[in-house]
Chain A
Amino acid sequence: DVKVTQSSRYLVKRTGEKVFLECVQDMDHENMFWYRQDPGLGLRLIYFSYDVKMKEKGDIPEGYSVSREKKERFSLILESASTNQTSMYLCASNTWTGKNQPQHFGDGTRLSIL
């Protein structure tokens, strides 16, 4: 089974802090994604990556950056955390084989910015 592991289930940080959310997958997937999930808004794509050191902006990249130094790891960075970034963050991965393979999700990180 595919395993997508997010480093923290719950995280509390202060306004202005630099925050790192880590995600690791064990299936050698090329694609990795970071979503933000808010009630009534569904999942919104922040950033995604097709390969090591490659990244693409999603629908809501403002205030975030990402890093993918190794194929299995995709980090989401909040450069200067703000209260409006309090949310559930989901990491996902999949492979592209010419057919759209389903994305596999981690458990999520519930981030609170005080």
Chain B
Amino acid sequence: AQTVTQSQPEMSVQEAETVTLSCTYDTSESDYYLFWYKQPPSRQMILVIRQEAYKQQNATENRFSVNFQKAAKSFSLKISDSQLGDAAMYFCAVGSQGNLIFGKGTKLSVKP
């Protein structure tokens, strides 16, 4: 069985600052993938960033990067230069064989 834990139900960041969202997971799979999804208020869930567990190098997508610690089963998301449009629910997910297990989400607020 796979589990995903996001320990921060809510986070807040000042515009232009950096924030890190935490995620830990547990899985018995040897080949798995990790994802961060963003869900803005009343809008569609979209993929932010993806990490393949067999890759040691941390994934980066523009202002978004991950800190993947495989031994610790930790997969945190760092958002640099935060913008008002980053305000959303963020979900961490672990997947294998096409399925995903989601965490309960972190609500990120961005203060102007």
Contact = CB atoms under 8 A, between A and B. Distances in A.
User: What class of interface size applies to chain A in its complex with B?
Assistant: 20 to 34
A108 B44 contact: yes
Which DSSP category, helix, strand, loop or mixed, fits chain B's interface? strand
A105 B46 contact: yes
A31 B18 CA distance: 36
Nearest to A59: B101
B99 A45 contact: yes
Contacts of A100: 32-33, 95-98
Nearest to B53: A100
Given A94-B98, A100-B98, A42 B103 contact: yes
A9 to B, nearest CB: 9
A101 to B, nearest CB: 8
Interface residues of B, number: 24
Contacts of B45: 90, 92, 105, 108
11 contacts: A33-B99, A42-B105, A43-B91, A48-B99, A96-B97, A96-B98, A99-B52, A100-B33, A102-B35, A102-B47, A105-B45
Give 10 closest A-B pairs by Cβ, nearest first.
Answer: A42-B104, A100-B33, A105-B45, A43-B102, A96-B98, A100-B95, A102-B47, A31-B98, A42-B102, A107-B44
Given A42-B102, A99-B52, A102-B47, 17 more contacts: A31-B98, A40-B9, A41-B104, A43-B91, A43-B102, A45-B99, A96-B97, A99-B33, A100-B33, A100-B98, A103-B100, A104-B47, A105-B37, A105-B44, A105-B45, A107-B43, A108-B45
